[in-house]
Structure formats: structure tokens, C-alpha cells
Amino acid sequence: MQAKPEIIWLSEVDSTNRYAMNNFDALADGTLVAAEFQTAGKGRQNRTWISPRGENIYASFVMKNLAPPVCNASIIASLGALRMLRQAAPEVKFWIKWPNDICCGLKKIAGILCESKLSAAASGMVAGIGININMPESALDAIDQPATSLAAETGRNSDLQSTVTVLADELRKLYADYSTAPRQVFELWKQENLLIGKTVEIVDAGQRQLQGRIADIGESGEIYFETGGQTLKFYSGDIRIRKESLDGDALFSPRELKK
Ligand code: BTN
């Protein structure tokens, strides 16, 4: 009989992604591994993910029946994190910044790191999700890019266990929907990507910096980037937003508009 999906709570781990990847065969499909503290939290592009004890969500979702490309996992994970945040703070605007950050205004509140797993017993993906929940402003200021937390946006702290439970429920629903109607879930995800049509800067894998416009996002998660009279396709990269290059203010949070 198949083991039932569960939430595995760890008091401390190097990285929930590493744990999920190393124990992939033994974990049930749809399991969420969550930790109170990560000693070596991993971010995208070999960065470190700051993971203080008991302040934020550090969790990895195990999907044993999800085929490549990796963006399939990113779509499920970023929509799951977005829905969890919206349930916790319906009054706050959150959006997806390609490839898979969740932002509030121009500040990042959540990041996602997906890894694929091929083994004799199973093949699938692990989606690692870090969401800043109760991190205070002083700690956010120490992060090397503009960052925020749910507490900083709402002025109230949230219970970590209940937010993780909501996250697990949303991820499982999206995972099920994606297996039957991937196109519809992709469209929902694309609608939340508010940089489509905006002029931004991209720093690509080779550290090349280009100014241009995100014309569209394709079904493999690639962006179509118009720059210097041509359209380039990127599957990954860091997008930088210049406040003054935005034509509308839909992306700004009320706190940013007041400044
Ligand atoms: C990013 O750089 O934006 C991705 C950050 C992903 C962080 C999460 S925290 C839970 C999981 N375990 C890790 O080591 N990383 C991911």
C-alpha cells in the first residue's frame, strides 16, 4: 500500500531540499518536509537562504509523479505559496516575479528552488519553498536584496504550523489539478506574473545584463525578452526592476507609494 502524504516536521536540518532529495524514495508522494531551522538553506544560483529558527517557513514538497521541465514544479510551488499568503493576508497584494519569486510591492517575500530527482524507484521533483513569515524589519534589512515578511506587511505575527498546513493543502490541490489540467494551471500562474509587458533588466546565467521588455512567458516557463530589436528566450535569470521604468504602479505596495 502507498504511504499517505504527510507533513514531516524537523526541528533542525541542513536543508529541507537536501533532506527531501536524500529520502525521496522513502517519502510518500505529496509529502511536505518542513523545518524550524536550516543550517545550510540553499537559494537559487548557489546562494544561501537565510533561515533563522522559528521565524519563517522552510519547506520542501515532494512530487513523485511530475515530469520535466522543472518549471512544472515551480508553477505548482509558486501558486501554492501565493495562495497561502493571500489566505493569511487578504488585504495585501502579492504577485509572482519570474521565474518564481513571490513579491509584495518590489520586495521579495518568498523564494523557490526546484530540483529534479531520477532514481531506480521513482522520478519526480522536489520544490523547496522559503517564505518570510515573522521575520522582523531589522533582520530583513540585513538581506542583500529588498525583502519583506508577512509580519512586516500586516503588522501581526502568524502561527507557523497553521501557515505550513495551509501551504501543504494548497500544494496538494494544485499538484492534483496540474496532473489533470496542466494548461489551466499554467494560465493561472501566467496571470499572476505581473512583469509581462514591463521594461526591466535581466542578468542572465553568464552575468550578462540586458535592458528590455518581457513580451510573454511560454509553456516551458521561458520568457520572451525583447531587446535591441530582437527577441531572446530565457529559461532562467535574475530580473531587476527600476522603479522609474514602470509605466503603472500596480506592482507597488501602499507602503512604497507613500514614500
Ligand atoms: C531563492 O533563491 O529564491 C530560492 C530559495 C529557496 C529556499 C527554500 S527554504 C526551503 C528549501 N530548502 C532549501 O535549502 N532551500 C529551499
The answer on pLDDT for 107 being more than 80 is yes
Q: With cut-offs at 50, 70 and 90, classify the pLDDT of residue 1.
A: very low
The reply to whether ligand 1 has any atom less than 6 angstroms from the CB of 99 is no
pLDDT tens digits, one per residue of 160-201: 999 999 999 999 999 999 999 999 999 999 999 999 999 999
Q: What is the pLDDT of residue 249?
A: 55
* pTM, rounded to two decimals: 0.93
User: What is the SS3 string spanning the chain?
Assistant: CCCCCCEEEECCECCHHHHHHHCCCCCCCCCEEEECCECCCECHHHCECCCCCCCCEEEEEEECCCCCCCHHHHHHHHHHHHHHHHHHCCCCCCEEECCCEEEECCEEEEEEEEEEEECCCCEEEEEEEEECCCCCHHHHHCCCCCECCHHHHHCCCCCHHHHHHHHHHHHHHHHHHHHHCHHHHHHHHHHCECCCCCEEEEECCCCCEEEEEEEEECCCCCEEEEECCEEEEECCCEEECCHHHCCCCCCCCHHHHHC
pLDDT at residue number 205:
82
- Residue 52: its pLDDT value, please? 94
113 lines ligand 1 (CB under 6 A): yes
102 CA distance to ligand 1 middle (Å): 12
The answer to whether residue 245 scores a pLDDT higher than 90 is: no
pLDDT grade for 250, boundaries at 50, 70 and 90: low
The whole-chain average pLDDT of the chain stands at 92
Q: How far is the CA of 227 from the centre of ligand 1 (A)?
A: 30
pLDDT score of 168 = 97
Whether 44 is in the pocket of ligand 1, judged by its Cβ within 6 Å, is yes
pLDDT digits (tens, 9 = 90+) for 30-48: 999 999 999 999 999 889 9
Walk me through the domains of the chain, giving residue ranges and CATH numbers.
Answer: 7-192 (3.30.930.10), 199-240 (2.30.30)
